[in-house]
């Protein structure tokens, strides 16, 4: 069972950062029009701490050490647990960097975040950004990452054991009757209770606003005048929030695979549902051209009918996988969704579907496990735990109970005949969260900020293109760069046009011409 709105790093392609669709999206039953009326900042209700309040933190010196990957250094930075009470307890945040390689004059630090919420920025830096970003960018920036509070190496939120997570991911997310609805609600409640029992101290303090304040603390500790940043998927919301809080300190911001902060949870989840339907149609069209496509060589509608029939069959009779875990509908759906993030995974998905339809669910299970970041020993990374913790704090829940989900099902099924029902029910999880949301949907304008580059992909499943259009229009200094293609996010995914435009902006601060489109 997915915990939707996942803005996450795809485990299938490390260069791709993503979002899924979590039930912990933005605001309750409010409409997007209502949400858009909230034009004020969504900053801390308690108010910003003063420079004097933060002096013990901004004056700290990081003790850099080697951390297992050649040329990379790691350190631990302290931040206030509660920015409203900066003299209170602190939290330890993991920071990593690789210094600018030269040649050329060093511009400063370039922070990166791969999304999630819950994706490890440090892991992303060490496995991709710090070695795979274009050489001219790495030559002139110290590449830096900080795992957001509650994520990976930064006092991670924990909720369930591996065995408990196995059971949680298998719960039927397309309930057929009242008993199955109750079982799904029970699973969400137990997940929330596990998070509260294990990580109750940190749960109220993992909001995106607090993570953005942490980024400004990193900026000051590193001695940078401006924050330069590349954020993907959820990382775009984090970056936009930073610009909202600190417009005068905002440097060169690339927001790739953008979120729309003005949307309610209900609207966000429905938009994502439609986004995955768009991605599925692209996959189905491509699949029909391939020899032996498991969804047939007919129309997209035929492919949709075949996939839904397959999911229904897996629901009735889970498929063997060669291990103790079987592939039911929930895990099968997650496996398909995982491959929607990157068209490079489509061949793997075709093979996995072919095998599953012949009675071997191992391939789809592998895709689902990659999505959940479950390793071969049965241990899960904290991605899904942090994802729920941040999402449920940032925005009020989509639904308050099963009756509201039932009422919304037609609109979700209209958005996606393939995924709609499951996405709707997955949107229930924040209804049972132990901490009340502190954020609300609102427009972000960041008046006074330097030019900000927003990147959108026309057939992005997880962050639909219209979100990038909306965010670029909201930001007073926003410029939209469009990638006409498939997959989640655009930078570093094979388009020279996109990469050149972003590199130019990062190196000299000049955004591309208005309306620039790439393929």
Active-site positions read 233, 460, 488
Residues 6 or more apart in contact with residue 256 via CB below 8 angstroms = 17, 230, 231, 232, 233, 235, 236, 455, 489, 490, 491, 502
Q: Six-digit token pair at 128? A: 């991709």
**For residue 302, what are the CA distances in angstroms to 101, 297, 308, 352?**
53, 9, 10, 19
Q: Is 480 helix (H, G, I), strand (E, B) or coil?
A: strand
Report whether 28 contacts 264 (CB < 8 A): yes
Q: What is the 3-state secondary structure (H, E, C) of 292-347?
A: CCCCCCCCHHHHHHHHHHHHHHHHHCCECCCCCCCECHHHHHHHHHHHHCCHHHHH
3-state SS, one letter per residue, for 67-120: CCCCCEEEEEEEEECCCCCCCCCEEEEEEEEECCCCCCCCCEEEEEECCCCCCC
Distance, in Å, from the CA atom of 500 to the CA atom of 506, rounded to the nearest integer, reads 10
Residue 76 tokens, joined: 């631990």
Instruction: Determine what percent of the chain falls in helix, strand and coil, rounding each to the nearest 5.
Output: 45, 15, 40
Burial environment of residue 27 by CB neighbours within 10 A (0 to 12, 13 to 18, 19 or more): buried
Residue the block writes with tokens 């953008």: 258
CA distance 57 to 89: 12
CA 459-173-465 angle, 5° bins: 15
DSSP-derived letter for residue 149 is T
Q: What are phi and psi of 20, to 5 degrees?
A: -105, -100
Q: What is the largest CA-CA distance in the chain?
A: 67
Which two three-digit tokens encode residue 123?
């892991």
Residue 388 in tokens = 């729920």
Q: For residue 447, how many other CB atoms are within 10 A of its CB?
A: 10
From residue 362, alpha-carbon distances to 13, 170, 266, 292, 367 in Å are 19, 15, 34, 19, 9
Cα–Cα distance, 391 to 388 (Å, whole number): 5
């Amino acid at each position: 069972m997915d915990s939707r709105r996942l803005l996450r790093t795809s485990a299938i392609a490390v260069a791709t950062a993503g979002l899924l669709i979590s039930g912990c999206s933005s605001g309750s039953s409010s409409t997007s029009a209502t949400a858009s009326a909230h034009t004020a900042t969504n900053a801390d209700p308690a108010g910003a701490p003063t420079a004097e309040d933060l002096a013990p933190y901004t004056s700290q010196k990081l003790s850099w050490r080697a951390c297992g990957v050649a040329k990379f250094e790691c350190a631990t930075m302290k931040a206030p647990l509660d920015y409203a009470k900066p003299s209170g307890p602190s939290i330890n945040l993991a920071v990593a960097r690789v210094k600018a390689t030269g040649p050329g004059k060093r511009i400063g630090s370039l922070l990166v975040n791969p999304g999630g919420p819950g994706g490890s920025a440090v892991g992303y830096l060490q496995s991709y950004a710090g070695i795979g970003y274009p050489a001219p960018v790495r030559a002139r920036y110290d590449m830096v990452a900080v795992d957001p509070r509650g994520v990976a190496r930064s006092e991670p939120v924990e909720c369930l054991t591996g065995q408990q997570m196995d059971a949680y991911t298998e719960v039927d997310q397309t309930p057929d009757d009242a008993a199955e609805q109750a079982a799904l609600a029970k699973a969400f409640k137990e997940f929330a209770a596990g998070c509260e029992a294990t990580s109750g101290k940190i749960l109220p303090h993992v909001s995106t606003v607090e993570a953005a304040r942490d980024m400004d603390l990193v900026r000051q500790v590193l001695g940078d005048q401006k924050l330069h940043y590349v954020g993907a998927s959820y990382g775009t919301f984090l970056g936009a929030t930073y610009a909202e809080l600190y417009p005068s300190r905002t440097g060169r911001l690339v927001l790739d695979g953008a979120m729309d902060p003005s949307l309610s949870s209900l609207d966000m989840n429905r938009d994502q549902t439609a986004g995955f339907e768009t991605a599925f149609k692209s996959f189905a069209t491509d699949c029909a051209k391939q020899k032996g496509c498991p969804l047939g060589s007919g129309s997209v509608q035929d492919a949709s009918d075949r996939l839904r029939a397959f999911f229904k069959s897996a629901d009735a009779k889970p498929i063997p996988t060669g291990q103790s875990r079987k592939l039911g509908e929930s895990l099968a759906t997650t496996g398909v969704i995982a491959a929607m993030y990157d068209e490079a995974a489509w061949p793997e998905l075709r093979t996995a579907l072919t095998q599953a339809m012949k009675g071997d669910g191992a391939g789809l299970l592998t895709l689902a496990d990659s999505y959940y970041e479950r390793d071969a020993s049965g241990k899960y990374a904290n991605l899904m735990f942090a994802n729920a913790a941040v999402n449920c704090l940032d925005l009020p829940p989509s639904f308050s109970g099963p009756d509201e989900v039932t009422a919304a099902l037609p609109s979700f099924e209209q958005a996606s005949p393939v995924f709609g029902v499951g996405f709707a029910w997955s949107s229930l999880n924040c209804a049972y969260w132990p901490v009340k949301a502190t954020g609300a949907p609102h427009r972000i304008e960041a008046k006074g900020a330097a030019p900000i580059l927003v990147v959108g992909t026309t057939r992005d499943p997880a962050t639909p293109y219209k979100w990038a259009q909306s965010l670029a229009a909201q930001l007073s200094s926003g410029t939209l760069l469009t990638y006409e293609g498939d997959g989640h996010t655009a930078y570093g995914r094979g388009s020279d046009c996109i990469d050149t435009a972003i590199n130019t902006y990062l190196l000299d601060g000049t955004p591309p011409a208005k309306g620039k489109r790439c393929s």
